[in-house]
Amino acid sequence: MTAITRAEALKGLLAFSALTTVLAGCAGEGAGNPGAGSAKGKDTVTVDYATYNPLSLVIKKKGWLEKALQEKGKKLEWVKSAGSNKANEALRSGNIDVGSTAGSAALLARANGSPIKVIDLYSQPEWSALVTTKNSNIHAVSDLKGKSVAVTKGTDPYFLLLQALKQEGIAAKEVTIQNLQHADGRTALDNGQVNAWSGLDPIMASAEIESHDVLFYRNLDFNTYGFLNATEQFLTDNPDAAQTIVNVYEYARKWALENTAEATQILADESGIKLETAKLVMERTHLNIDPIPGDKQVQVLKGVGPILVESGDVPNQSDIDKALSSIVDDTYAKKADSAAVENVKKTVS
């Protein structure tokens, strides 16, 4: 039997995705069990880590959160998220208690009934852009009309694509959107199976350096903040654990600002990317922010909301408005105490 290559498998996935794009986007974020409780019961806290969230990699590598939760009588389980859409799926199903997503993805999930709250901000990144190959005839968003674009629905690259198209006066239906997970999107672009890709770091940075792919459209304003989200049930059942997680995130954010070289090396090692690529990602990841979620983030998401309704990803604007008015819980970030983590750090570093 002939072995199936990744490219051949991807061809089948592309064909299938053409039939399921709408279902994946519209039903996916609202499906599942929105009433799920804590992922592993009262004694274990389940938190995600992701290559698009460098702080999660630092925290996991250093072991700070394990020790901090242990002192609260809790065990920690890490679960990897391949994208905001996967983090949302895990939060909605109760497979994780706390997960990291783009702000736009959190809004999509909340508007479709997923009971999550943003409790902390981990970055303001320019982590997504529109990408094509170095020899492509595509040089601007206007060139995408009638073309195919790979993107992961339910993530910031998806919302960046929709906003860029709308700004250019191009309807989403005038572009063939191939719903692929981030890594498969890059593969599809480099294999010539799509004309463009709405990418995400660090995969996007790797494509720039390794394949010399070109970021032909960038817009920081179309990238939303990095949201650390928790299920409402977890916040009700484990407020102390939630506060501990936010404390550790705040400590990690300050640590990464003071130890950029080591944080960058951790990103490279844990993501399996070149140090050169990790440096590029960190240059586009703004950590020197106010980590308390609030009106500024809500205002950014207000611009995304109508596009979610127009695209059919959210049924109506009232769902967006309800989500915007209830998605933020700033209690934990306002009380964040990075100093409380110092003793933990000393015992495990």
With 0-12 / 13-18 / 19 or more C-beta atoms within 10 angstroms meaning exposed / middle / buried, residue 342 is: exposed
Q: Which domain holds residue 256?
A: 44-126+226-348
CATH number at residue 218: 3.40.190.10
Do 120 and 234 reside in the same domain of the chain? yes
> Bridge partners of 199?
129
Do 277 and 341 reside in the same domain of the chain? yes
Dist. CA 333–CA 338, nearest whole Å: 11
Is 270 within the bounds of a domain?
Answer: yes
Is the Cβ–Cβ distance between 213 and 132 less than 8 Å? yes
Do 230 and 112 reside in the same domain of the chain? yes
Do 79 and 149 reside in the same domain of the chain? no
Dist. CA 132–CA 160, nearest whole Å: 15
21 vs 304, higher pLDDT: 304
Hunting for tokens 């008015």 — which residue is that?
325
The pLDDT of residue 343: 72
Is the Cβ–Cβ distance between 185 and 151 less than 8 Å? yes
Domain boundary among 188, 222, 256: 222
Proportion of the chain above pLDDT 90, given as a percent: 84
198 vs 32, higher pLDDT: 198
Is 248 within the bounds of a domain?
Answer: yes
Average pLDDT, the chain: 90
Dist. CA 308–CA 73, nearest whole Å: 41
Do 113 and 244 reside in the same domain of the chain? yes
Residue 42 pLDDT class (50, 70, 90 cuts): confident
Residue 8 has pLDDT above 90, yes or no: no
307 vs 335, higher pLDDT: 335
Residue 307 has pLDDT above 80, yes or no: yes
Domain boundary among 166, 198, 222: 222
Is 38 within the bounds of a domain?
Answer: no
Is the Cβ–Cβ distance between 112 and 30 less than 8 Å? yes
With 0-12 / 13-18 / 19 or more C-beta atoms within 10 angstroms meaning exposed / middle / buried, residue 61 is: middle
Domain boundary among 222, 256, 284: 222
| Type of residue found at 10 | L
Residue 4 pLDDT class (50, 70, 90 cuts): very low
Do 107 and 175 reside in the same domain of the chain? no
- pLDDT tens profile 69-96: 999 999 999 999 999 999 999 999 999 9
Do 107 and 241 reside in the same domain of the chain? yes
Do 105 and 241 reside in the same domain of the chain? yes
The pLDDT of residue 349: 53
Do 201 and 72 reside in the same domain of the chain? no
Do 249 and 319 reside in the same domain of the chain? yes
What are the C-alpha distances in Å from 215 to residues 46, 164, 193, 198, 332?
35, 13, 18, 9, 37
Is the Cβ–Cβ distance between 71 and 130 less than 8 Å? no
Do 87 and 230 reside in the same domain of the chain? yes
What are the C-alpha distances in Å from 137 to residues 134, 150, 195?
9, 17, 9
| pTM, full prediction | 0.86
- pLDDT tens profile 241-292: 999 999 999 999 999 999 999 999 999 999 999 999 999 999 999 999 999 9
Is 245 within the bounds of a domain?
Answer: yes
Do 166 and 189 reside in the same domain of the chain? yes
Is 30 within the bounds of a domain?
Answer: no
DSSP symbols for 100-155: EEEHHHHHHHHHTT--EEEEEEEEEE--EEEEE-TT-S--SGGGGTT-EEEE-TTS
Please report how many Cα atoms fall inside a 13 Å half-sphere around the Cα of residue 128, on the Cβ side: 32
Is 243 within the bounds of a domain?
Answer: yes
Q: Which contacts of 32-35 are long-range, i.e. CB under 8 A and separated by 24 or more positions?
A: 32/89, 32/92, 32/93, 32/114, 33/92, 33/93, 33/94, 34/92, 34/113, 34/114, 34/115, 35/115, 35/233
Structural element, H or E, at residue 178 = strand 176-179
Number of domains in the chain: 2
Is 150 within the bounds of a domain?
Answer: yes
Is 1 within the bounds of a domain?
Answer: no
